[in-house]
A = this chain, B = another copy of it.
Amino acid sequence: MSVTDDTLAANAEFAAGFTGPATSPPARQVAVVACMDSRVDPLPILGLAVGDAHVIRNAGGLVTDDALRSVVISQRALGTREVIVMQHTKCGMATSTDTEFRAALREDTGVEPSWAPGFFPDIDDSVRAGIARVEGDPHVVSAAVRGFVYDVDTGALREVSS
């Protein structure tokens, strides 16, 4: 049995107890950009419920082109108006560099990736860069964006001043 098989079995139980659909436009009109990290579960951390928010996640919680794509669609197609950028302490993306990671990929596969890996030396600077990307994007409807660092050891958020 693979983990994927296990999740399918677990989903049968989930569906049996399913209490009905939420509506599509996020009720709290907020989009969250967060890291894919297994320790980060954005909704409970932020006191949000299913149906409240769009949740965009990637390695690092970076405001990449793809995260911007998602934020723009979130705002224009489904009416969100605030953006929360939430990175976290002890992130793996702060433990190497793009140069090192690219070199390892080249060595191992013979091919460099087309994408920038996205490693960063300073978490606050990375959050600030994310905020700046949302604020500077010509396609967002609302640039009401704030940034936070989630502490994986305490569960607490710290706001990053921009």
Chain B, Cβ-Cβ closest to A41:
B50
Q: Name A90-110 residues within 8 Å CB distance of B.
A: 90, 92-93, 96, 101, 104-105, 109-110
> A38 touches which one: B7, B50, B114, B139 (CB < 8 A)?
B50
> A74 touches which one: B3, B36, B118 (CB < 8 A)?
B36
Complex contacts, A28 vs chain B, CB 8 Å: 3, 6
- With A2-B82, A18-B155, A139-B105 in contact, is A36–B56 under 8 Å at CB? yes
Not counting A36-B56, A59-B70, a sample of 14 additional A-B residue pairs whose C-beta atoms are within 8 angstroms of each other reads: A8-B157, A11-B46, A14-B46, A23-B39, A24-B38, A24-B90, A41-B43, A58-B58, A58-B67, A65-B115, A69-B115, A69-B117, A76-B104, A109-B139
Residues of A that sit less than 8 Å from B by CB: 2-4, 6-15, 17-18, 21-31, 36-39, 41, 43-48, 50-59, 64-70, 72-74, 76-78, 82, 84, 90, 92-93, 96, 101, 104-105, 109-111, 113-118, 138-139, 144, 146, 148, 151-157, 159
